Structure 1
């Protein structure tokens, strides 16, 4: 662990653990505040992609901070063996924990989706695509404000407005990524649309028994709203999902356009578009 980190912060209890690192609650005596500290053991990073992700995350988070719906970064400490990143402290439950047991009311889902789209639109305005939007990467602070986290897969959008590389998570990745094509920042809108579908129905829109089957379903992009799951979901919500999960990325809404959809503007109260 970095000596500079230990000089400035007091590490408290462990609050999370991943493949390469551990997250601690930490205390900053000067400000009298608590933070989260992610400590990554660089000796475990044998893959060049993992090393690149390690360097990308603090770089992009610093560029995007501060924003009310993006996890804020406060300090970075590094030595030969460890990288330590001091972050805003959030509640232990992610969006995944919130939606795993029951679908949400449309008003609840609209509140969450508005905050998520505001974060995504901010990233895109600054030329950054997150590329791994999923419920596990969506946190909440003590005031219940949504915070997008985990920018390890993020990428700067190129001069031509496109990127390459197969990154993302089954269920949430956009079809153009899986097809190996060049793609743009609207992959984040697709992933956000998948989250909205799951929040309202309790099931993913594209599924299979294995990652391969899920990917095949995503590429087909045959979006349906089975009545057993969507009987009480409004036509306005379905319209937004169709436009966010449009297979043709050129016709897919941008994050800014999605924020202006009647269902979002009404806070989930718009039932139809007539």
Structure 2
């Protein structure tokens, strides 16, 4: 038997690896078909279906068993048996002392299955497969500076390396949510999760390697004002990313300037920082969380808020790109929170704006996103149809930029049986800007000076901000 260790992501003591389910596997269903599985001392055929983080066995037309792959360690092996001469490729998954072995007869089919298992399970031997080049300077909301630039088979990767001996239960819970969310997502406008490794000391989360700065750092380093057409392209891309995560049952809960990476140049962006994301279930309650100045007002009043909270946060970011300031400003974090809860927005700012021109149609969309009542607030799909994007020619531009930054989708990868890679690049910011206090509203017309004071709004790593609201 292959040797496995229990993973840190398997925290419960459930006796059985497999659970019964009378409902069919949830979409998106990513791979299905017959393989051979070992039962006692012989191999028998079984029909498997795989979707994000779950593997299903079909017992009958309306009876299934499923296994949580996020708790499983994974290995592959070569196989030869005279009774099964065509089955040369093997996959083993294991939870604690329970193990499943699958045999596949085709190299192409094996690659399709294994690429999916590899994304949803826990892998071994990171140090044998990756070489760590240097520690990056990016600041993680939960773990500080924990990102490393690594290389694997001539491909550069961004790896979050976390020490298991120091991780808290709260950090582990947030990490599990982040990984679970990213495993469900497959959009070139969202940071791409590749795979997860674990050894006795560390957890290694492998992302694609990207080049660029977070949006707040980018604005700080660029003194020119933005054209409204560029703002429209940025917002359109972010709405596209948000529409995708909402369609997969995920909502972000911490959209802000720091959560947006700019790839080489605008409007090519990536949505990141999913450590406070949640899987949305209707009528479920969620803890209050967010960053001061970007929080949807309903979060202050109820725990039954919905993914539309993300649209309000996007509206706050939209406001910054238009006016060069957050819509809710104050001399302290408490004052910002008070104004944020009231959500009274000033659209008549009598001073030089960050955006060169502000059109009435753009203001119309901004107001629709910053609507206090979430039931009246636009969804991401509704906002994508706004006439401002037609006026700005954004949809045509978005198609052009999508072709530039587009990486291989997971479905294309599985169909073509190639390795999981994206063409999007990412460069870690050279420094972080974490201040000790909240300053007053901008007073300088120079964009660089404006951002000097705006930076102080992000005063602590997100875990402290979020604990403040819980």
- TM-score, normalised relative to structure 2: 0.53
1:60 aligned counterpart, secondary structure:
helix
1:228 aligned counterpart, secondary structure:
coil
Q: 2:209 aligns with which of 89, 95, 99?
A: 89
Pair 1:125 & 2:247 matched:
yes
2:253 aligned counterpart, secondary structure:
coil
Q: Deviations over 1:159-190 (max 9, x none)?
A: 33x54211111111111112244100001100
Query: Does the CA contact (< 8 Å) of 1:78 and 1:84 recur in 2?
Result: yes
Give structure 1 stretches of 5+ with no counterpart: 270-274
1:83 aligned counterpart, secondary structure:
strand
Compute the displacement of 1:247 (Å). 0.5
2:146 aligned counterpart, secondary structure:
strand
Distance 1:37 1:95 in 2: 21
Q: Deviations over 1:101-150 (max 9, x none)?
A: 55422111111111111010001111110111111111133576311111
Compute the displacement of 1:92 (Å). 4.0
Distance 2:278 2:393 in 1: 31
Aligned match of 1:258: 383
Aligned match of 2:360: 235
Change over 3 Å in CA distance of 1:237–1:27 after alignment to 2 = same
Q: Which has the larger radius of gyration?
A: 2
| Counterparts of residues 22-101 of structure 1 (less than 5 Å) | 22-29=146-153, 32-46=154-168, 48-64=169-185, 66-100=186-220, 101=223
Pair 1:267 & 2:267 matched:
no
Query: Does the CA contact (< 8 Å) of 2:133 and 2:149 recur in 1?
Result: yes
Higher-strand-fraction structure: 2
Q: Deviations over 1:191-250 (max 9, x none)?
A: 111111101111111111222111110111111121214583111111111100100111
Compute the displacement of 1:266 (Å). 3.1
Distance 1:177 1:236 in 2: 28
Compute the displacement of 1:42 (Å). 3.1
Quick check: 19-28 or 165-174, which moved more? 19-28
Query: Does the CA contact (< 8 Å) of 1:41 and 1:82 recur in 2?
Result: yes
Distance 1:213 1:234 in 2: 30
Query: Does the CA contact (< 8 Å) of 2:136 and 2:147 recur in 1?
Result: yes
Query: Does the CA contact (< 8 Å) of 1:165 and 1:180 recur in 2?
Result: no
Compute the displacement of 1:5 (Å). 1.3
Q: 1:244 aligns with which of 366, 369, 375?
A: 369
Query: Does the CA contact (< 8 Å) of 1:95 and 1:138 recur in 2?
Result: yes
Distance 1:104 1:173 in 2: 25
Higher-helix-fraction structure: 1
Deviant stretches of 4+, over 6 Å: none
* Alignment coverage as a number of residue pairs: 263
Distance 2:178 2:251 in 1: 12
Distance 1:265 1:124 in 2: 23
Pair 1:193 & 2:318 matched:
no
Query: Does the CA contact (< 8 Å) of 1:102 and 1:202 recur in 2?
Result: no
Q: 1:158 aligns with which of 251, 256, 281?
A: 281
Query: Does the CA contact (< 8 Å) of 2:212 and 2:263 recur in 1?
Result: no
Q: Deviations over 1:23-80 (max 9, x none)?
A: 1111111xx211111111233333x33221111111110111x211111111111235
